[in-house]
Amino acid sequence: MAGHLCKRALIALLTIFVIISLSFLMVRFMPGDPLIHMVGEENYYYMKEFNPQELERLAEKYAMSGTLGQQYGNYLSSILHLDFGTAYSNNQPVLQNILDSCKWTLILTVPTLLLGCLLGGVLGVLAGWKPGSLFDRITTPVFLFLNTVPTNCVGVVFLVVFAFRLKLFPLNGMTSGGLVGMARFWDIVWHAALPVIILVLFRTSSNFLLMKSNVSQIKDEDYTVTARSKGLPERRILFRHVLKNAMLPYVTSLCIQVGSLLSGSMMLEVIFGWKGMAQLFYNAVSSRDFPTAQACFIISATCVVLGNWLGDALVAAIDPRIKEGATHA
Convert the pLDDT of each residue in 222-251 to its tens digit. 888 888 888 888 888 888 888 888 888 888
Over range 114-138, report the average pLDDT. 93
Q: How many CB atoms lie within 10 A of CB 115?
A: 17
- Could you give the number of structural domains in the chain? 2
What is the rounded distance in angstroms from the CA atom of residue 160 to the CA atom of residue 24? Answer: 41
pLDDT given at position 145: 93
Residue 310's contacts (CB-CB under 8 Å, 6 or more residues apart) are 255, 258, 259
pTM tops 0.85, yes or no: no
64/104 same-domain check: no
Confirm whether 66 is domain-assigned. yes
Structural domain for 74, as ranges:
2-80
What is the rounded distance in angstroms from the CA atom of residue 27 to the CA atom of residue 37? Answer: 9
Return left, alpha or beta for 30; rule: phi > 0 is left, psi -120 to 50 is alpha, else beta.
beta
145/40 same-domain check: no
110/42 same-domain check: no
* Residue 300: CATH number of its domain: 1.10.3720.10
* Residue 137: half-sphere exposure toward Cβ, Cα within 13 Å: 3
Q: What would the pLDDT profile of 190-220 be if each residue is shown by its tens digit?
A: 999 999 999 999 999 999 999 999 999 888 8
Q: What would the pLDDT profile of 127-186 be if each residue is shown by its tens digit?
A: 999 888 999 999 999 999 998 998 888 999 999 999 999 999 998 888 887 888 899 999
144/224 same-domain check: yes
